[in-house]
Amino acid sequence: MNKLAAIAAMLLAAGAAVQHAHAQNQKRTPDAPLDFDPAKPERIDGWWTNGTELMRLDTNGAYRLWVSQDRFKYPVEVGAWRRTNYVYFDLEPYRAKPGTRHRVNLEKSGTVTELSRDGMKPFRWLPTPPRVMSDEMLGAWVSPTEQLLVLENGRYEWRRTGPLQGISEHSGSWNGDGDVLTLGPDTTAVDQVSLRCVKGADGQWTLEGRNGRMTRPPLDPAPPPAPGSPVAGPASSVPPAKSDAPASVPPLPAKPSANG
């Protein structure tokens, strides 16, 4: 009987402890809400940075990781990401042993959401990627004798527009290293080209190389307002049509003929 009484007393004590813990949890719930709402998982696709590494989570489930803030460099890790619940997701690198996964979890730092991955500082979300020197090299460039188009996908197109001797056009891949833009032609008939990206006192960027200086192509002047338009004449009762089309970009100089 003494043994049975001791067991009964232990069961009663355990039940009382469970009830006490449950009561304490109910008491704390209003004061300590969850950091994340399981019914409304936070968006995690987009750009993330910790000041050292940069990570991009695409909506199609792919991801890339850089060891700098320059997204134009070759990523050190490429793979797929998969969300496991509203707090955790896994990164699965393509170039790694099958089954390799890196667990990443969401945490709150005040009101800011952070991604935590072992061995790295916490990442914070960015609406746009960090602006780097390579961003200043993108786009169209012209000079009296040549034109260059530097594309965001890592490709470039070059044409000769003046009376210089040699090949009239070539294309290939480009690389930015600090303020130096290097063009690597696809053909071995053309040597590698290096240009320096320089910011002038007026805040405008130029590319300087062995053939001189290249600048941004000038924008076409706006056409004069038509007679009777809201700008030139009396206010019109019909509002102008709204268009969702992107603004037009001035065309580059025409491609020279084979004889030019």
Token pair in block for residue 73: 């460099």
Domain boundaries, the chain: 46-126, 133-214
Q: Cα dihedral angle (175, 181, 182, 185), rounded to 10 degrees?
A: 90
Residue 99: CB atoms within 10 Å: 6
- The pTM (predicted TM-score) of the whole model is 0.64
As a whole number of Å, the end-to-end CA separation of the chain is 113
Categorize the per-residue pLDDT at 33 as very low, low, confident or very high, splitting at 50, 70 and 90: low
> Cβ(133)–Cβ(178) under 8 Å?
yes
Number of H helices, E strands in the chain: 2, 16
> Cβ(152)–Cβ(167) under 8 Å?
no
Q: How is 40-102 classified by DSSP, letter by letter?
A: SPPP--EEEE-SS-EEEE-TTSEEEEESSS-TTSPPSEEEEEEE-SSSEEEEEESSS-TT--E
Task: Please report where in the chains the tokens 């797929």 appear, as a residue.
Answer: 80
Which of the following CATH numbers is that of domain 133-214: 3.40.50, 2.130.10, 2.40.128, 3.30.450?
2.40.128
Q: Hey, is 206 helix, strand or coil?
A: strand
Q: Residue 26: which residues within 8 A CB-CB, separation 6 or more?
A: none
Q: What is the pLDDT of residue 17?
A: 52
Q: Report which of residues 243 and 17 the model is more confident about.
A: 17
Average of pLDDT values for 174-186? 96
Per-residue pLDDT at 154 exceeds 60: yes
